[in-house]
Structure 1
């Protein structure tokens, strides 16, 4: 799947993207995933699907999902800070939701920090509902994670 909209395009992540993915990770998370973790996701995890959004050929964001039987689990989603607030995260997540549906998933789940109001708002806009709390889910500061679900 490779779609283009103006200067934006959406496609599957490739190993060649990992340098840019690591920049996005470090600018987005207090506990970024390692390059090796992404490499393993791309090459060794049969359930993993990773999608990127590019602007003028530069990877500016990505979203990962594990699709196991009929359930999709969002592992991570991130955009470079200067591209946030432009509805690109929404477009990217919609693409991943559509792809998950096409691959047989009937529901999708994710965890989000209690304090991440912008992400929670986006997920609610896309139909996700809060389904529970994972106490002290985030190891960097012990913050709770909210489990959210949506039927695809």
Structure 2
């Protein structure tokens, strides 16, 4: 497997980072969640993801929004969804980054998300047997999530 580097260079003294690799979640959901979480404080990001998992707050879809209904709440005029599976996976990556920050001795109350992004992973190739000895592809796409937390003052 190829070595995956972080997209953003960060000062290791006041930042902590984590990476989730080969996560089996939707790339579109991950892109929209990462866009929404970028720049948030860590505590508010975790609370936001927990509200999305509980189907209380929708995630506005600004790019991948064809034939999506609008949702209740103050998300503006954008349509939205509740990507629960992607929220759970990103919540685990944020928890790992928080634990890395604790290990470095950073103040976990003053952490914000400096960088979060999703990259395309490899495709798991499978086949579904069909009639008359044929087969159809049934591929599973994976993604990688990068998170860099920064201590702010």
For Structure 1 versus Structure 2, the TM-score category normalised by the shorter chain is under 0.3
Taking structure 2 as the reference length, the TM-score comes to: 0.27
Bigger strand share: 1
The structure with the largest alpha-carbon Rg is 2
Taking structure 1 as the reference length, the TM-score comes to: 0.27
